[in-house]
Amino acid sequence: MSVVELTDVRKRYESGGETVEALKGVDFHGDRGEMVTVIGPSGSGKSTMLNVIGLLDTPTSGTVRIDGRDVTDFDGDELTEERRSEIGFVFQDFHLLPMLTAVENVELPSMWETDVDRHDRAIDLLRRVGLGDRLRHTPDQLSGGQRQRVAIARALINEPDLLLADEPTGNLDRDTGATILDEVTRLKNEEDVAIVAVTHDEQLVEYADRTVNLVDGEIR
């Protein structure tokens, strides 16, 4: 069973009397232990597709399944809960809170959990991405690569089945990108997550188990 499955997903945007069909019948799946990259020209629908997979946007028609459950008709609260418990996000510009330490940033998405060991898991994740000696540092005291490691640890704190990344290596130099991708590959296997990454980065594509090409709202 796939972690995420899109079936004949269409997304239409209406703005100013004009209709844009951003996704035109997309079929897609992401499985545990697999990293899939989504590539395609600007405007081809990559962000729209990632937003639909991440339950941040709903399709105009078609079906979205998470762990085999049809979530297409979930309301806002149900989608938020599903997102919180099953999906981690990593962004190009890290999105860390500047006044919090590394360990506090990692713990943040689990603040609603009553689980007492979230602090230990945050420390464990930071150690596993090589930041065991940077736990109390704030983002301005960390390099770009270290910030992205904090963001990856944060994305994994709730033990998601699905990790979504939008240009995760976009702000990193090639060597730092390679180190991060080695770590992501290791965590992918250790945590048994499905990873879907949108990218222009050839280096990231080299690390993918599979690549899908999106052109004008269709997978080619």
Ligand X SMILES: Nc1ncnc2c1ncn2[C@@H]1O[C@H](COP(=O)(O)OP(=O)(O)O)[C@@H](O)[C@H]1O
Q: Could you say whether residue 47 binds Mg ion (CB under 5 A)?
A: yes
Contact between 42 and ligand X per CB under 6 A: yes
Interface with ligand X in residues 70-109 (CB under 6 A): none
Please report how close the Cβ of residue 23 comes to ligand X at its closest, in angstroms. 8
Q: How far is the CB of 13 from Mg ion (least distance, A)?
A: 13
Does 47 sit near ligand X (CB under 6 A)?
yes
Ranked by CB distance to Mg ion, the top (closest) residue is 47
Residue 219 φ/ψ region, left for φ over 0, alpha for ψ in the -120 to 50 degree band, beta for the rest? beta
3-state SS, residue 209? coil
Measured CA angle at 87 (ends 129, 170), to 5 deg:
55
Nearer to Mg ion by C-beta: 2 or 199?
199
Of the candidates 105, 148, 98, 106, the one whose C-alpha atom is nearest the C-alpha of residue 124 is 106
Burial of 176 (0-12, 13-18, 19+ CB in 10 A): middle
Minimum distance between the CB of residue 22 and ligand X, rounded to whole angstroms?
3
* Selected range binding ligand X among 37-45, 95-103, 152-160, 175-183, rule: CB under 6 A: 37-45
Q: With CB under 5 A, what is the number of residues at the site for Mg ion?
A: 2
Q: For residues 153 and 129, is the Cβ–Cβ distance under 8 A? A: yes
Residue whose structure tokens are 């330490």: 101
Measured from the CB atom, the residue of 84 and 91 that comes closer to Mg ion is: 91
Report the interface residues with ligand X, using CB under 6 A: 13, 15, 20, 22, 40, 42-48
